Amino acid sequence: MADLTLPAELATPDWLAPTPNAAQTPLPEALHRALNSAAHRERWKYTKAEVFLGATHTAANLPQISGEQQPGIDLQQTTKPVPLVGFDLDQAPEAFARLCYASNILTIDISAPTTEILTLVHASSTVPVLIRVAEGASLTLNEISDCDSDAQQTIWIDLAANAEMKHSRNALDTAGAHWQYLNVRLQRDASYRLHNHVTGCASRRQDIHVLMDGQGAEANLISAGSVEGKTALDQQFTLEHRQPRGRSQQTIHNIVANGGKCSFNGRIHIHAGAAGTDAQLANRNLGMGEHATINTKPELEIYTDDVSCAHGATVGTISQEALFYLLSRGIDQGAAQALLSQGFLRQCIDGPLAESALETLIGGASVGL
């Protein structure tokens, strides 16, 4: 296998100095090593990394932004130092490279509890975004991908103590090779909730890396995906508990039908000292029609006692018991299957972007019922 290489020469930005791992080795070398590690190969087992890596240096626009004109929000396009505490080069070398290639990034600082929704719409590759929510502040973020060709979006979110964020994300477009990287760091008692609604596209890749970096932090990731026809979705979720008494819950439901290809990897890493952690993950996959390909892998690394951790991955078809229940009430085979598959996804559709997600993923919300 040929080595993965960076697509262009890369200079170390000044602001990288405080980042661990980057200091000892020259950056291009450190990235090269990370890109060709066994762990990296495993993360890109089902999606060709070359395509995504090769586009990390291409030009990026600002996302379309609305809701930023309210007290407590400060937007900056900046090249100044932005230390990313806890961000691990080995974990995400592509994201690191993209950050280094970017001529500027967008920082969004939230200094107070906000009331209106901040919306980011990506119509193409967008500049790296860093959202910092200050202690006790809160934000509701809607993020919509509306791309029709190759695109990359990278977002870092840093939640200070007691900060709160509700993040809804719809990636329901027909992008080409689409990569979304999301890194969330939670400090003490911070809370983060993600409603992720997604379809397959030519090749869609979602990396989510959540760092529980303060005591009592709480993260909730809920995702509904539909991968139909000749489309692909590859989701790689990593949740690290680094501090005691964190709670995390991940629920990911995907329907894969008629030639769709869906991969999910859910890694939970509970570090030494993260006592009292409660980490739950459930990935359920429903295969329908002909030739659905589903890869799901749970990964658990636990280095402390006194944790409660449940990790389940299932691949199945529609429950015959449930199907018969509907049939016995006069609902025909096709309608009953549709109701059941819709119900399977609806369990994971919520939040302010739910309506359009329902429309795209299950063809309507059956309003009022």
Partner 1 sequence: MSLLNVSDLHASVITDDQTQPILKGLNLTVEAGEVHAIMGPNGSGKSTLANVVSGRPGYQVDNGAATLEGSPLLELEPYERAQLGVFLAFQYPVEIPGVSNMEFLKASIDSLARARGEEQPNTAQFMRQVRELASSLDLDPAFLKRGVNEGFSGGEKKRNEIMQLLLLDPKLAVLDETDSGLDIDALKVVAEGVNRYRSASNGVVLITHYQRLLDYIVPDFVHVLSNGQIIESGDKSLALELEAKGYAWLT
Residue 313 Cβ vs partner 1, minimum distance, rounded to whole Å:
18
Q: Which is nearer to partner 1, 159 or 349 (CB)?
A: 349
Considering only residues 311 through 330, tell me which ones interact with partner 1, judged by CB under 8 A. 319-322, 324-330
Residue 193 Cβ vs partner 1, minimum distance, rounded to whole Å:
19
Which of 223, 278, 275 lies closest to 254, judged by CA?
A: 223
Cα separation, 274 vs 207, in Å, equals 23
Q: Which is nearer to partner 1, 290 or 330 (CB)?
A: 330
Residue 290 Cβ vs partner 1, minimum distance, rounded to whole Å:
21
Count Cα atoms within 13 angstroms, Cβ side, for 47. 31
Residue 285 Cβ vs partner 1, minimum distance, rounded to whole Å:
15
Residue 318 Cβ vs partner 1, minimum distance, rounded to whole Å:
11
Q: Which is nearer to partner 1, 24 or 328 (CB)?
A: 328
Structure token digits, residue 258: 């008629």
Q: Which is nearer to partner 1, 132 or 346 (CB)?
A: 346
Considering only residues 250 through 269, tell me which ones interact with partner 1, judged by CB under 8 A. none
Cα separation, 131 vs 278, in Å, equals 26
Q: Residue 279, SS3?
A: strand
Please answer whether residues 65 and 118 qualify as being in contact, where contact means their C-beta atoms are separated by less than 8 angstroms.
yes
- Which one of 8, 23, 272, 335 is in contact with partner 1 (CB under 8 A)? 335
- The reply to whether 333 sits near partner 1 by the rule CB under 8 A is yes
Q: Which is nearer to partner 1, 345 or 357 (CB)?
A: 345
Cα separation, 155 vs 136, in Å, equals 21
Tell me which amino acid residue 286 is: L
- The reply to whether 332 sits near partner 1 by the rule CB under 8 A is yes
Q: Residue 139, SS3?
A: strand
Orientation angle between helical segments 333-346 and 320-327, nearest 10 degrees = 130
Considering only residues 339 through 368, tell me which ones interact with partner 1, judged by CB under 8 A. 339-340, 342-347, 366, 368
Q: 294: phi > 0 → left, psi -120 to 50 → alpha, else beta; which? A: beta
Return the number of other C-beta atoms located less than 10 Å from residue 116's C-beta. Answer: 15
- The reply to whether 288 sits near partner 1 by the rule CB under 8 A is no
Q: Which is nearer to partner 1, 1 or 367 (CB)?
A: 367
Q: Which is nearer to partner 1, 69 or 328 (CB)?
A: 328
Residues 7, 10, 15, 20, CA torsion sign: positive
- Which one of 7, 331, 352, 360 is in contact with partner 1 (CB under 8 A)? 331
Question: Applying CB under 8 A, which residues contact partner 1?
Answer: 319-322, 324-333, 335-336, 339-340, 342-347, 366, 368-369
